[in-house]
Chains A and B, each alone.
Chain A
Amino acid sequence: MTITLNGERHEITEPMTVDALLALLAIDPRRVAVEHNRTIVRRPRYGEIVVDEGDTVEIVNFVGGG
């Protein structure tokens, strides 16, 4: 199934929680912020919110900047 992840089409095998998606991508959940269909997901809800077919997900972190 296809989702839009950070602006790109991305394939996942089945619907999964944000937590599971981050684990799949080997991303540390403590260092990122996640937006699911334009709504920010609060960290306590990473195990609740399910990413499904056609969803748009943004995963951001801090990088160097002025």
Chain B
Amino acid sequence: MIAGRTFRSRLIVGTGKYPSHAVMAQAHEASGADMVTVAVRRVNIADRSTESLLDYIDTNRIFLLPNTAGCYTVDDAVRTAHLGREAGLSNWVKLEVIGDERTLFPDNEALIAATRILVKDGFVVLPYTNDDPIACRKLEDAGAAAVMPLGAPIGSGLGIQNINNIRIIREFSKVPVIVDAGVGTASDAALAMELGADGVLMNTAIAGARSPVQMAAAMKHAIIAGRLAYLSGRIPRKLYATASSPLEGVIGT
């Protein structure tokens, strides 16, 4: 549950970089996601032939989350968020204020400022941030409805780079924690959930897989498995063995 709204799935997926809109729709179905992200971009005035993304998303079943991808300043992010709200069906926004082109790491200072502005403008803000527990705390204080620390750079497929920080963020946060960015394969998603994340957001891991539809299904299972494992109270890690079978009654002793 985020900002009073309940979602059936803890997996949020993107709509970018798929081989086709049709494959995207199949992957969404396989993933079980009921929230997807979209980007806000200028209409291509010259080329009106491109298919509309929304023809492939049933917005009665799937909640659209506009993002502010590509924004490097508070001003651009706030403008884009407002445009996204106007074009879309809700006041939710995945807020991104990017600090660097190569890493696409967030500019936390600008992100926190933009969060404050958009919260005041009535938005439900889900900020994409890094694995810094202090930045997450400041975002929460600024009114973010959730915090979304990255696992690794967007599209990198490196998995969770800072396991301890994600765990700490989960411990400190009173709002939902969604690991967003860097997931590469199913075990990365499962790990995020085992660390206590409330959800995982991914795009490239599915869209860029050799079989996006199959990977979407894998991710669906990974999220479920990771969450169940987290709730089940795992055994502690030990340096040496503790036998699982009884020590007495062995023949030949």
Contact = CB atoms under 8 A, between A and B. Distances in A.
A66 B67 contact: yes
B38 A63 contact: yes
A66 B16 contact: yes
Given A60-B83, A62-B87, A25 B14 contact: no
A66 B45 contact: no
A6 B66 CA distance: 19
B84 interface: yes
Contacts of B14: 64-66
Interface bracket on B:
35 or more
Interface string A6-46: 11101000000000000001110001111100101011000
Interface majority SS (helix, strand, loop, mixed), chain A:
strand
**What band does the interface of chain A fall in when counting residues whose beta carbon is under 8 Å from B?**
20 to 34
A31 B21 CA distance: 17
B83 A63 contact: no
Q: Which of B18, B43, B48, B155 has the most CB of A within 10 A?
A: B43
B104 to A, nearest CB: 10
B174 interface: no
B214 interface: no
Contacts of A63: 15-16, 38-41, 53
Nearest to B68: A65
Which one of B17, B24, B38, B202 has the highest number of Cβ atoms from chain A below 10 Å of its Cβ? B38
B83 A6 contact: no
A27 B49 CA distance: 11
B169 interface: no
Given A26-B48, A31-B54, A66-B67, A60 B43 contact: yes
A62 B54 contact: yes
A62 B42 contact: no
A-B pairs with lowest CB-CB distance, top 8: A65-B39, A66-B203, A66-B14, A33-B87, A33-B86, A64-B16, A64-B15, A62-B38
